[in-house]
């Protein structure tokens, strides 16, 4: 009988983001064999697990789903943290730091008591700060602490460009990098549609308009429905699949960059062991300045953290 490697994900936090990720895994991730839900509200975790079990019966993939406690981290391959306070109307992502730092100290303190030796996948805002905090509190190597970074922002960017130029987003090669927040930027000099540079399709005025729309997308959605969940759920699912498939796919994840001393969104190659390589950035002088401003925005917060 062939040896069968069981891929196990433990999800901590059964709110909107966590459950959108969980549903995306059950519905579309063929390499996730076990999914365990943990939440401070144990009754909610139990109910969500039962609901997902019923959904799994309608999926073409087989996933064992249950609720549990931190002992489940012992043999987990990925621990995804989606716990914490959500961004509310009128709040910036950075307004959440104080609230979520204490949450993470509690969560990672519990995980540190286990034998967890897999990969952290972080989805809690402010994303880059919480990714950095996880690395510091866990003592894990930077390659195995991955934040969702600007993967969602990049998806939003490609969606907006596709709508503007009437081209399938899969043929648009453009990225958002930097902070998952108000200082994020787009290296337009690297952006192409097919093989053509982006400036053949978009004016500088339109580029600025699209950047503004990307930066304010979350605020608009939160204003209208109270939270953002589906997009980030799918992005987390795609990163998870890239890890389990050892696909060496490129995502703009948040990972600690020793050159800058922060965790920040940048193109990185994802494999079974986490981040295999951070891609070098080829930026214009103006773009370097914008990226450095994003680095400074994150550093200004990190320097005041007690981790």
Per annotation, catalytic residue among 16, 31, 33, 180: 180
SS3 87: coil
Our measurement of the distance from residue 290's CA atom to the centroid of its chain's CA atoms, rounded to an integer in Å, reads 22
For residues 297 and 181, what is the distance between their CA atoms, to the nearest angstrom? 10
Q: Is 180 a catalytic site residue?
A: yes
For residues 268 and 282, what is the distance between their CA atoms, to the nearest angstrom? 14
SS3 39: coil
Residues 6+ apart with CB under 8 A from 157: 174, 175, 176, 186, 210, 214
Give the number of other CB atoms < 10 A from CB of residue 282: 10
Provide the b/e sequence for 177-189 (b: ≥16 CB within 10 Å): bbbbbebbbbbbe
Kindly list the catalytic residues.
Answer: 180
């Amino acid at each position: 009988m062939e040896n069968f490697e069981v891929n196990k994900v433990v999800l901590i936090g059964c709110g909107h983001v966590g459950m959108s990720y969980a549903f995306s895994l059950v519905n579309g991730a063929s390499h996730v064999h076990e999914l365990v839900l943990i939440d401070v509200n144990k009754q909610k975790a139990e109910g969500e697990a039962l609901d997902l079990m019923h959904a799994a019966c309608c999926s073409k993939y087989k996933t064992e789903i249950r609720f549990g406690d931190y002992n489940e981290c012992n043999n987990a391959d990925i621990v995804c943290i989606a716990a914490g306070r959500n961004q509310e109307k009128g709040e910036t992502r950075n307004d959440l730091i104080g609230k979520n730092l204490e949450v993470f100290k509690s969560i990672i303190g519990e995980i540190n008591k286990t034998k967890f030796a897999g990969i952290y996948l972080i989805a809690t805002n402010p994303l880059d700060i919480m990714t950095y905090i996880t690395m510091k509190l866990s003592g894990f190597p930077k390659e195995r602490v991955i934040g969702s970074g600007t993967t969602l922002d990049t998806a939003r960017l490609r969606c907006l460009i596709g709508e503007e130029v009437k081209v399938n987003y899969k043929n648009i090669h453009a990225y958002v990098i930097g902070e998952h927040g108000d200082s994020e930027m787009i290296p337009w000099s690297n952006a192409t549609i097919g093989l053509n540079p982006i400036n053949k399709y978009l004016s500088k005025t339109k580029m600025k308009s699209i950047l503004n729309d990307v930066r304010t997308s979350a605020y608009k959605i939160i204003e209208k429905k109270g939270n953002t969940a589906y997009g980030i759920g799918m992005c987390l699912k795609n990163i998870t699949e890239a890890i389990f498939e050892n696909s060496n796919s490129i995502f703009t994840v948040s990972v600690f960059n020793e050159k800058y001393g922060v965790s920040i969104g940048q193109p990185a190659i994802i494999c079974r062991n986490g981040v295999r390589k951070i891609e070098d950035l080829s930026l214009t002088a103006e773009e370097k300045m914008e990226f450095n401003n994003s680095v400074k925005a994150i550093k200004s917060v990190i320097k005041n953290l007690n981790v």
